[in-house]
Amino acid sequence: MKRNRIALLLLTILLLLAGCASRTIRSYTLAPGDVPHPASGYRHSDIRVEYPKGIEDTMSSRIYFTRSDLTQSYYLYSQWSQPLNRLVMAQIIATLQRSHLFRHVLDYASEAGSDYLLETTIYRFHHRITPQGSFADISIGVRLLRTADRSLVKSRRFDYEIPCSGTDAQGFVRAANEAMQRLGRDLVQWLAR
């Protein structure tokens, strides 16, 4: 009788462990959207997009959420396909290339010379869950510099609060992609002025 109980307990533990071990991690990415093709005074110039900066913890592959201003957690079974700053940089480069604002768009690793430099800082990029709703809370600052003398041409901070379709990572990623598509359009229009 005692042997049967031990066997049953061991079987239960093994089934629980197997259930925990079989959980898969979902990876998400950011997808660039359509961008305008405005006339630009930069079309004969090259631009280098620097690696985005931000709070080190949030620049990982983790997808963060908050339920208050004082706490931050991350989804255990959902993550970005690459570190967040790499995804944001890739999206900005793709957006600028498709806009044809500049002759060439280079990434931070290129050794080619450029006329302009675009610096990016990610201030917020998380899922904010409140009693009033669930939102993608995204704030990204950009600075356009003249490479020759490192002088500031212009700067701007883009803030987006996009409602999410749910309180899970998938709902947040949909809203984050919408915010990044808006950022792409807003960035191109702002640079073209």
**What would the pLDDT profile of 37-94 be if each residue is shown by its tens digit?**
888 889 899 999 999 998 876 789 999 999 877 788 999 999 999 999 999 999 999 9
With a pLDDT cut of 90, the percent of the chain lying above it is 67
pLDDT recorded at residue 78: 94
E-assigned strand segments in 55-94? 62-66, 73-80
pLDDT recorded at residue 56: 75
What integer best gives the mean pLDDT of the chain? 89
Tokens of 17: 């462990």
Q: Is the model's pLDDT at 193 over the cut of 60?
A: yes
Q: Are 77 and 24 in contact (CB under 8 A)?
A: yes
**Alpha-carbon torsion angle 97, 57, 151, 98, nearest 10:** 10
| pTM listed for this prediction | 0.83
Q: How far is the C-alpha of 163 from the C-alpha of 169, rounded, in Å?
A: 13
CATH 3.40.50.1820 fits 26-192, yes or no: no
Domain layout of the chain by residue ranges: 26-192
The mean per-residue pLDDT over the stretch 108-123 comes to 94
Q: Is the model's pLDDT at 20 over the cut of 60?
A: no
**pLDDT tens digits for 21-33?**
557 889 999 987 7
pLDDT recorded at residue 58: 73
The 10 Å CB-count burial string (b at 16+, else e) for 115-125 is bbbbbbbbbbb
Residues with Cβ < 8 Å from 114, sequence gap 6 or more?
A: 45, 46, 47, 48, 104, 106, 147
